[in-house]
């Protein structure tokens, strides 16, 4: 009889468009490894219609969603985010009990990722964290990322300065691996859209200059959100361009930002406001764009 091979179960968490593209190369590698089984846990904005219900993109890419964890409320207050965090911990606790894994992979600095890591803690479940050691000034993401570092057992960072920061935070050197940004690998095989195909997908003629706009609340300055978005849209209104604008992420204060973007897009003759672009459209758009206006968070 042949030797019995024990397959390790790798759980991967994705909660929004901001992490999914970065994770796709990892998903492909895990799925292709005969020694591994992949379990995909989907939560956060992926499951919300107001953010484009981007779980549809995951399904369209051919991935099986093993567990869906509902977290978000139809509310953008700090209290709603705190409640969503609690709901997420409970949801991931149930999901991890129903679908046990040998290792749980989280990425970045979203509060939804923190819920998954906190749920894993009482299970004594090893957690691998990607993109630790980085900085996000003016945002609660900074605290969340470092909290994920302290909850994780293995760290895969994008650059040596980030690895050094983790060691300064007290992480054992053998646990910290400088592997680069996994999301960059997808550009090796991505089929970019032509300018004509891109215009057809977006539903707007890409008349130069083409500017991509992605703005998110500065979550440590929520009282200034209305001023921030007002200053941005006033600056945009003073320029003649084709504007491709994406929704903000599921942070506290996102409705104020969205209201401002909707008002701007409604008045600009060459503006297109979209909940989410999808990985291929976004990457193709950046190839064609003349400029980009964005805050700290990935789109």
Q: What is the pLDDT of residue 198?
A: 92
Q: What is the pTM of this model?
A: 0.88
Q: What gap in Å lies between CA 72 and CA 86, rounded to an integer?
A: 10
Nearest residue to 130 (alpha-carbon basis) of 22, 6, 284, 11: 22
With contact defined as beta carbons under 8 Å apart, do 108 and 20 qualify? no
Q: Which residues contact 63 (CB under 8 A, 6 or more apart)?
A: 27, 40
Domains and CATH numbers, the chain: 8-188 (3.40.50.2000), 195-294 (3.40.50.2000)
Burial group, residue 91, by CB count within 10 angstroms (0-12, 13-18, 19+): buried
Q: What gap in Å lies between CA 252 and CA 201, rounded to an integer?
A: 30
* Alpha carbon separation from 278 to 1, 243, 256 (Å, rounded): 47, 17, 23
- What is the full per-residue pLDDT of the chain (299 aa) written as tens digits? 456 678 999 999 999 988 999 999 999 999 999 999 999 999 999 999 988 899 999 999 999 999 999 999 999 899 999 999 999 999 999 999 999 999 999 999 999 999 999 999 999 999 999 999 998 887 899 999 999 999 999 999 999 999 999 999 999 999 999 999 999 998 888 889 999 999 999 988 999 999 999 888 888 788 888 999 999 999 888 888 999 998 888 888 888 988 989 998 888 888 899 888 888 888 899 899 998 876 644 33
Q: β-pairing, 103-107 with 127-130?
A: parallel
Q: What gap in Å lies between CA 108 and CA 134, rounded to an integer?
A: 9
Q: What is the DSSP string of 89-156?
A: HHHHHHHHHHS--SEEEEETT-HHHHHHHHHHTTTT--EEEESTT---TTSTHHHHHHHHHHH-SEEE
């Amino acid at each position: 009889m042949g030797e019995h091979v024990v397959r390790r179960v790798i759980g991967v968490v994705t909660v929004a468009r901001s992490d999914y593209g970065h994770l796709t190369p990892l998903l492909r590698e895990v799925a292709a490894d005969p020694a591994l089984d992949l379990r995909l846990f989907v939560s956060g904005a992926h499951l919300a219609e107001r953010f484009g219900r981007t779980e549809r993109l995951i399904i369209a890419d051919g991935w099986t969603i093993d567990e869906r964890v509902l977290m978000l409320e139809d509310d953008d207050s700090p209290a709603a985010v705190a409640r969503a965090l609690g709901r997420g911990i409970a949801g991931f606790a149930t999901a991890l009990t129903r679908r046990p894994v040998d290792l749980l992979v989280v990425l970045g600095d979203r509060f939804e990722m923190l819920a998954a890591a906190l749920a894993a803690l009482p299970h004594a479940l090893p957690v691998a964290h990607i993109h630790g050691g980085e900085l996000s000034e003016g945002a609660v993401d900074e605290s969340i990322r470092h909290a994920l570092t302290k909850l994780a057992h293995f760290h895969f960072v994008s650059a040596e300065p980030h690895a050094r920061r983790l060691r300064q935070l007290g992480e054992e050197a053998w646990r910290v691996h400088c592997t680069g940004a996994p999301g960059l690998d997808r550009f090796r095989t991505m089929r970019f859209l032509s300018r004509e195909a891109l215009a057809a997908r977006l539903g707007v003629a890409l008349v130069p200059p083409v500017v991509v706009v992605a703005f998110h609340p500065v979550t440590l300055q929520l009282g200034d959100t209305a001023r921030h978005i007002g200053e941005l849209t006033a600056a945009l209104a003073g320029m003649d361009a084709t504007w491709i604008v994406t929704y903000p992420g599921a942070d506290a204060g996102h409705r104020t930002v969205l209201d401002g973007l909707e008002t701007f897009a409604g008045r600009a003759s060459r503006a297109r406001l979209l909940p989410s672009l999808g990985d291929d459209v976004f990457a193709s758009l950046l190839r064609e764009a003349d400029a980009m206006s964005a805050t700290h968070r990935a789109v």
